[in-house]
Amino acid sequence: MVELLVTISCMAVVFSGLCGVFLANQAEFDRQSGISTALVATRTACDEIGTQVENAMYAKVFTRYTSGDTLAICLPADSAYGTYVPVSANSYKYRNGQSWVFYLSDSTGNYYRPGNILWRATLAEWKNPVATVITPDTAWSCLPDTTQGRIAPVSSITFSMPFSWKSAMVNVTVSADYKASSTVASLTRTRKACLRSLDGYYAD
């Protein structure tokens, strides 16, 4: 009986140690997986928005819930061989084309709902999203045939526009949260994008 009790006690100690190792490995796996997801979300958001900002004629930052959490841009209307070009009408100027707004929302894409999915929507009037028709672009924002965000989870996004007489630049800052042990950590990435098709600056 004594030997049996000793054996059971030893096995309990061994199994306890193994469980501790397993739980530690599982927690580390979850942490690394969370970091990987956050890295992909922040990098993709910065790259996607930055690329479109670089082609834009105009850009303006708006506030919905937190300062500078929404960005509207207007792209040129004319292109040739995959490059936006100005047209001749007394002088060479770009014509206003497609307008987009970037913001965070839930799976519905509703402009007036918070969420952790990056959405792009079309605007009828790029200067003021609140005063115009906003049409969420599901094909760009969600995975095919789902309501799952293509770029998610994003915990916050912030835009700012320091301006000089030579160029306009948009700073894009994206953060994504992930679980680290019993706490939540955050990963942040920033990208600076200059408007290459700049044709003025809307400062109202």
Q: Distance (Å, rounded) from C-alpha 130 to C-alpha 141?
A: 20
> Does a structural domain hold residue 204?
no
pLDDT higher than 90, residue 11: no
For the chain, what is the domain count? 1
Contact 154, 8 (CB under 8 A): no
So what's the pLDDT on residue 72?
92
Closest C-alpha among 66, 154, 64 to residue 101: 64
Which tops the pLDDT comparison, 70 or 31?
A: 70
Mean pLDDT for 64-93 is 80
pLDDT of residue 30: 63
Q: List Cα–Cα distances, 28 to 14, 24, 79, 178, 183, in angstroms.
A: 21, 6, 49, 12, 13
Domain membership flag for residue 95? yes
Q: Which two tokens stand for residue 36?
A: 């990987």
- Quick one: what percent of the chain has pLDDT higher than 90? 39
**Residue 82 domain flag:** yes
What is the C-alpha end-to-end distance of the chain, expressed in Å?
87
Backbone angles phi, psi at 189, to 5 degrees: -135, 145
What are 163-180's pLDDT values in tens digits? 654 457 899 999 998 877
Banded model confidence at residue 153, pLDDT cuts 50, 70, 90? very high
Q: State how beta strands 156-160 and 134-136 pair.
A: unpaired
Burial letters 151-181, b for 16+ CB under 10 A, else e = bbbbbbbbbebeeeeeebbbbbbbbbbbebe
The half-sphere exposure of 199 on its side-chain side, counting CA atoms within 13 A, is: 21
The verdict on residue 137 lying in a domain is yes
Q: Is 203 among the domain residues?
A: no
> CB under 8 Å to 114, separation ≥6 — which residues?
65, 104, 105, 106
Query: Is 202 part of any domain?
Result: no
Asked if the model's pLDDT at residue 204 lies above 60, the reply is: no
- With bands split at pLDDT 50, 70 and 90, how would you rate the model's confidence at 202? very low
Q: What is the CA radius of gyration of the chain?
A: 24
Confidence class of residue 191 from pLDDT cuts 50, 70 and 90?
Answer: very high
Read off the pLDDT of residues 83-134 as tens digits, 9 standing for 90 and up.
777 776 566 677 778 899 999 999 999 999 999 999 999 988 766 777 678 8
Domain that holds residue 17: 2-194
183 within domain boundaries = yes
Compute the distance between CA of residue 150 and CA of residue 139 in angstroms, rounded to an integer: 9
- 200 occurs within a structural domain: no
In this predicted model, which residue has the larger pLDDT, 90 or 38? Answer: 38
Give the residue-averaged pLDDT of 151-162: 91
For the chain, give the mean pLDDT: 80
Question: The tokens 């105009």 sit on which residue?
Answer: 58
State the pLDDT at residue 114.
Answer: 93
